[in-house]
Amino acid sequence: MDVFIVTGASKGIGLELSTQLRAKGNKVIGIARTVPVDTEDFVVADLAQTDGLAGMIDSLIEENRATATSFTLVNNAGMVDPIGLIGSVHPEEMAAAMSVNLTAPMILSNTFIAKLKDYKGPKRIVNISSGAGRNAYEGWGTYCATKAGLDHFSRVVTLEQANAEYPVDIVAIAPGIIDTGMQETIRASREEAFPLLERFIDYKEQGMLSSAEHTAEKLISFMEHEGFKVVGPIADIRNF
């Protein structure tokens, strides 16, 4: 059975990915701070608290190693806060975002690769990135920096795994602009904190946001049909 470990699995893209992957007969282990209704194989964890993450994923892999035909880690959890011009944001909020958006995916990926070093089946890491990691936006200093870091981390792992006996394939993929709680957070911000506020309000009013359901469908199709080595470490779902 193909095993998927999905962070941020209680809402938005993560919830849709988990639901659709299970419907296809895969085993999905969700990780989030809250548990969705009627969900099996779920681990409650706050990714801002990084101390126990290595042990957690080590245990999950060990529990499923004997029956898994493949392993995929989807680092989906993310937070757009703090929104504000640098010089006006709270340090504690910056630190939390750094942990959730970048430190946690790095720790989980590090343990995933180490634990499965000798595993001969397919192994993949999918980092849910953002156009904010590839473009600079006023008011998103922390978010842009963490997503850029996630992209570059994926590039480094690609180079390193090229020399591995049983390599892990990795990609950082931007999912487009999606109608989720993150967009609600953005639209609830103040223009002085986020000068592009009106643009994101227009996205919603003009029906330019993709649904989480449709985005999850496209991501699953990407994972099923695209070779990560051919695609490369940086991708955008709108190109597939």
Asked whether residue 200 is assigned to any structural domain, the reply reads no
Asked whether residue 204 is assigned to any structural domain, the reply reads no
Asked whether residue 191 is assigned to any structural domain, the reply reads no
Supply the pTM of this predicted model: 0.91
Q: Rounded distance, CA 226 to CA 73, Å?
A: 16
Per the CB < 8 A criterion, the answer to whether 193 and 176 are in contact is: no
| Domain range for 228 | 2-176+212-239
Q: Single out the residue of 4, 16, 55 nearest to residue 181, CA to CA.
A: 16
Structure tokens at 231: 């695609």
Asked whether residue 189 is assigned to any structural domain, the reply reads no
Q: In the prediction, which pLDDT does 197 show? A: 67
Q: In the prediction, which pLDDT does 208 show? A: 61
The CATH number linked to 11 is 3.40.50.720
Specify whether 143 is catalytic.
Answer: yes
Asked whether residue 28 is assigned to any structural domain, the reply reads yes
Sheet holding 169-174, edge to edge: 42-44, 27-32, 2-7, 70-75, 123-128, 169-174, 234-236
**pLDDT, one tens digit for every residue, the chain (240 residues):** 999 999 999 999 999 999 999 999 999 999 999 887 767 899 999 999 999 999 999 999 999 999 999 999 999 999 999 999 999 999 999 999 999 999 999 999 999 999 999 999 999 999 999 999 999 999 999 999 999 999 999 999 999 999 999 999 999 999 988 866 677 777 777 767 677 667 767 666 676 678 989 999 999 999 999 999 999 999 999 999
From 119, 137, 143, 203, the catalytic residue: 143
Q: In the prediction, which pLDDT does 194 show? A: 76
Q: In the prediction, which pLDDT does 179 show? A: 67
Domain count for the chain: 1
